[in-house]
Amino acid sequence: MTAMNVVHMRVKPGKEEEFLRIHREFAGKTMPGLRNFQVVKSGERSFVIVGDWDSMDALVASRQAMIGNLDRLRPVLEDLGGGRGVTEPWSGEVVLNLSS
């Protein structure tokens, strides 16, 4: 069954280009099972990262690589508040897909 991960982040003022550069470099790395990787601008300095995976196992196997990239991103990210830290991550198996 396919899986997805979605992570919300907010970038510090003036750091958007660095944020995107880090993601461009990361997206070029091989992560077995990653189908698609998208960075969506969802508001002023607010972004949502979306990963589409072959399976939950593939997503889990790549978590260390994703954490490593997050460590590179931390200096350009703002705390989201409410005890969330610099990211708000979600992941799980896709239970309904209406696209062809």
Q: Which CATH number fits domain 3-93: 3.50.50.60, 3.30.70.100, 3.40.710.10, 3.40.50.720?
A: 3.30.70.100
pTM for this predicted structure: 0.90
pLDDT in tens, the chain (100 residues): 899 999 999 999 999 999 999 999 887 677 899 999 999 999 999 999 999 999 999 999 999 999 999 999 999 999 999 999 999 999 999 999 897 6
Contacts of 3 (CB under 8 A, 6+ apart): 53, 54, 55, 56, 58, 59, 91, 92, 93, 94
Indicate the domain borders of the chain: 3-93
